[in-house]
Amino acid sequence: MKFNTQLIHGGISEDPATGAVSMPIYRASTFRQKELGAHPKWEYSRTGNPTRQALEQLIAELEGGVAGFAFASGSAAIHAAFTLFSAGDHIVVGKDVYGGTFRLINKVLKRFGLEFTTVDTSDLAAVAAAIQENTRAIYFETPTNPLLQITDIKAIAKIAKEHQLLTIVDNTFASPYNQQPLKLGADIVLHSATKYLGGHSDLVAGLAVVNSQDLADQFAFLQNSIGSQLGPDDSWLLQRGIKTLAARMRVHLENTAAIVDFLTKTPEVAKAYYPGLTDFPGHEIAARQMKHYGAMISFELQPGLSAKQFVDQLQLIGLAESLGGIESLIEVPAVMTHGSIPREIRSKTESRMS
Ligand SMILES: Cc1ncc(COP(=O)(O)O)c(C=O)c1O
C-alpha cells in the first residue's frame, strides 16, 4: 500500500467487531474475562485498548516498524525511550533539541544516574569521539527544534551499529510523510503527535515506533509499568487527524515555499533557517533522506529590530507554542519553548549555524 493510502486504510481502520468504518472509542478501563487464567487479548486498558491499538498499528505501518506505542504526550514517549536504560548508562544527545527534552535530561533523568554527552550530531567525527565504554544510544532530532539542523540518519545509524548502540530519532519536525528514520537504519522513532500527526491543535499525544520484536517487548513492558499511555478518546482523535496528513502536508508545503521566499527577500530578515534552501548547511543530506523539507521555518531579524514588536503586530499568525496544526503559529524560542535552556548553552548552539 502506498503511504497516502496507508494513512487512511492502514493499521486497524475499521472495527473488526461491527465493520464500522471509523474505529469506535472503547471507553472501558477493564474487560470481563470468561474464565480464570484464560488471559484474553483485552484485560485492562493500561495494558492494551482496542482504540489505542488501532492507532499504534497505524503509526507502526507508517514508519515501517515492528510495533508502535501511544503515549500521553511526546515528552512521555521520549521519557519511555530513555527508561530503556539504567543508571550508569551513557547516551550521546544532539545539541539542538526541544527545550522540554533538554529539561527532561538535565533536571530529571540525570537524577536517576543516566549520563549524557551533548554533541553536534551533524558532525560525525564528534559523535564517534563522544562514544564511551558505557554508551548505549545516540539520540537526536532532524530537523531540529528550533534551528532546523540536519543530521545524516544513515551515517549515525552506521556508527551506532559498529558500537552496538541504539539510534533514536525524534521525527516530530518531519513527520513520516517527509522522513522515515527506521528505513534509514534507526532503531526507535519518536513523535510529539501533538504536532503534524494530530494536525489540529486539539490534543497532546506522543508516539514511538521500534524496529525489532525485542524493543517492542521492552516498550510494551515500560508503557504498561509506567502507565503513561494515551487514553482511548485521544487515540481516536489522533487516528482521525493522521488520516488527513498527506492532504494537510501538501498545503503546509505550498504555504512554506511562499513564506520562505518572502523571508529571504525581506531586508529586515537577517537570516532564514530552512533545510530546503540550497545554501543551508545539511541541505544535501536533507535532500537525500527527506521527501520534502517540512513546514517549519526559523528566522532572525536584523540586529536592533524587536522580536516583541514584530510578533505583537501579527494578525492571523498566532503567538503560541506548538506547530504542525492547520493554523500558522509563531514563537520566540528563547523565551518560550526553549526558555529552560540557559542562555550560554543556547548561544553556543546558535553560533555553530552562523
Ligand atoms: C521536537 C519535539 N519533540 C518533542 C516535543 C514534546 O512533545 P509534547 O509537547 O507532545 O510533550 C516537542 C514539543 O514541542 C517537540 O517540538
| pLDDT tens, position by position, 299-342 | 999 999 999 999 999 999 999 999 999 999 999 998 898 888 88
How far, in whole angstroms, is CA 137 from its chain's centroid?
Answer: 17
pTM score above 0.85: yes
pLDDT at 352: 53
Grid cell 530513555 in the structure block, residue: 82
pLDDT at 345: 82
Q: Which atom, in ligand 1's list, is nearest to the CA of 145?
A: 1
Q: What is the mean pLDDT of residues 244-258?
A: 98
Q: How far apart are CA 264 and CA 128, in angstroms?
A: 35
Instruction: Find the range with the poorest average confidence among 132-141, 147-156, 266-275, 345-354.
Output: 345-354
User: Is residue 44 among the annotated active site residues?
Assistant: no
Dihedral over alpha carbons 125, 278, 308, 204 (to 10 degrees): -70
pLDDT tens, position by position, 27-78: 999 999 999 998 899 999 999 999 999 999 999 999 999 999 999 999 999 9
Residue nearest to atom 15 of ligand 1 (CA): 98
CB distance 232 to 52 below 8 Å? yes
* Pocket of ligand 1 contains residue 238 by CB under 6 Å: no
Domains of the chain: 3-243 (3.40.640.10), 245-352 (3.90.1150.10)
pLDDT digits (tens, 9 = 90+) for 170-213: 999 999 999 999 999 999 999 999 999 999 999 999 999 999 99
Q: Helix 213-226 and helix 74-82: axis angle, to 10°?
A: 110
Enter the C-alpha cell of residue 52: 489505542
Query: How many angstroms separate the CA atoms of 344 and 59, rounded?
Result: 38
Report which protein residue has its CA nearest ligand 1's atom 8.
74
- Cα 195 to Cα 249: distance, rounded to the nearest angstrom: 12
CA of 249 to the centre of ligand 1 (A): 19
* Length of the chain in terms of residues written: 354
Say if residues 189 and 223 touch (Cβ distance below 8 Å): no
User: What pLDDT, in 10s, does the model give residues 103-160?
Assistant: 999 999 999 999 999 999 999 999 999 999 999 999 999 999 999 999 999 999 999 9
Task: Based on the residue annotation, tell me whether 27 is a catalytic residue of this protein.
Answer: no
